[in-house]
């Protein structure tokens, strides 16, 4: 395949192409036309791609997110993260058993450090959700990420506030999490408090 033929364009609701830049000039491309090229996880509107803004003279139009992660996606992402961390925890405990022979000591060695799992998840979430990926491994697997109300990357300070507020969503019988079913943007209480969103990629 010719490497110049790299742009797939959604025309009348159907992906067509690939086209090169010269061929795109002959198409009725608007700022809101969805376009994709190799290396992109999903389609983007034409105005969001720098080379297309230069080609057509579009202005970048920052728009608020419209597609929000559902409760089940967020829950599964959290389960995946905890499962990964728990796996490393089990490996560390098994290694420690090489040096611990007594049965009672082994039980205590397993139980006493157990809260570390949640502490690690908290710290990991703070840094992962404020990183360039905007997501933990669980969220990345499900193609969801944390943003501010305009869809931009959040600061580490906002990520810290969001994650520290999670217990308040859990304390009243997890109503703060279930609140996402009542919120148009699927926000939990800690999202509302930190002014964040958990968004998903648009599906074409």
| Mean pLDDT, residues 51-69 | 81
- Same domain? 25 vs 99: no
Residue 96 has pLDDT above 60, yes or no: yes
Residue 34 lies in a domain: yes
| Mean pLDDT, residues 172-182 | 93
Residue 65 lies in a domain: no
For position 1, what pLDDT does the model report?
41
| Mean pLDDT, residues 66-89 | 94
| Mean pLDDT, residues 141-148 | 94
Residue 64 lies in a domain: no
CB within 8 Å of 129: residues ≥ 6 apart? 135, 136, 139, 145, 146, 154, 159, 162, 163
Residue 3 has pLDDT above 60, yes or no: no
- Same domain? 123 vs 49: no
Residue 12 has pLDDT above 90, yes or no: no
Residue 170 lies in a domain: yes
Residue 54 has pLDDT above 50, yes or no: yes
- Same domain? 86 vs 182: yes
For position 4, what pLDDT does the model report?
59
CB within 8 Å of 134: residues ≥ 6 apart? 145, 146, 147, 153, 154
| Mean pLDDT, residues 176-188 | 94
- Same domain? 81 vs 39: no
Q: Are 185 and 156 in contact (CB under 8 A)?
A: no
For position 203, what pLDDT does the model report?
52
Residue 109 lies in a domain: yes
pLDDT band at 202 (very low <50, low <70, confident <90, very high): low
Into how many domains does the chain fold?
A: 2
Provide the angle, in degrees to the nearest 10, between the axes of the packed helices 116-129 and 71-96. Answer: 130
109 lies in which domain range? 71-200
- Same domain? 100 vs 179: yes
For position 204, what pLDDT does the model report?
45
More confident residue, 145 or 18: 145
- Same domain? 27 vs 75: no
Q: Of 15-24, 29-38, 55-64, where does mean pLDDT reach its minimum?
A: 55-64
Residue 61 lies in a domain: no
Entry pTM: 0.70
Gap between the Cα atoms of 84 and 74, Å rounded: 16
Nearest Cα neighbor of 144 from 201, 82, 75, 72 is 201
- Same domain? 175 vs 106: yes
- Same domain? 15 vs 84: no
- Same domain? 24 vs 88: no
Each residue's pLDDT tens digit, 97-133: 998 889 888 889 888 888 888 899 999 999 999 999 9
- Same domain? 79 vs 143: yes
More confident residue, 79 or 32: 79
Helix (H, G, I), strand (E, B) or coil at 18: strand
- Same domain? 76 vs 49: no
CA distance readout (Å), 194 to 71, 139, 198: 18, 18, 12
Q: Which helix (H) or strand (E) holds 17?
A: strand 14-19
**Average model confidence (pLDDT) across the chain:** 88
Residue 98 lies in a domain: yes
Residue 139 lies in a domain: yes
- Same domain? 129 vs 163: yes
For position 61, what pLDDT does the model report?
67
């Amino acid at each position: 395949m010719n490497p110049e033929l790299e742009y797939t364009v959604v025309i009348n609701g159907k992906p067509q192409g690939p086209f090169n830049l010269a061929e795109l000039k002959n198409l009725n491309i608007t700022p809101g036309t969805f376009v994709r090229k190799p290396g992109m996880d999903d389609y983007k509107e034409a105005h969001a791609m720098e080379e297309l803004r230069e080609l057509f003279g579009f202005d970048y139009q920052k728009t608020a997110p419209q597609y929000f992660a559902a409760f089940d996606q967020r829950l599964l992402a959290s389960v995946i993260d905890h499962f990964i961390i728990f796996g490393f925890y089990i490996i560390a405990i098994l290694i420690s058993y090489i040096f611990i022979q007594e049965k009672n000591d082994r039980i205590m060695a397993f139980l006493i450090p157990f809260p570390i799992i949640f502490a690690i998840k908290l710290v990991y979430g703070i840094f992962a959700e404020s990183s360039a990926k905007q997501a933990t491994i669980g969220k990345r697997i499900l193609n969801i990420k944390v943003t501010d109300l305009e869809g931009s990357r959040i600061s580490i300070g906002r990520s810290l506030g969001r994650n520290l507020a999670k217990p308040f969503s859990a304390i009243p019988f997890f109503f703060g999490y279930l609140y996402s079913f009542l919120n148009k943007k699927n926000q939990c209480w800690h999202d509302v408090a930190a002014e964040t969103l958990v968004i998903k990629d648009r599906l074409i």
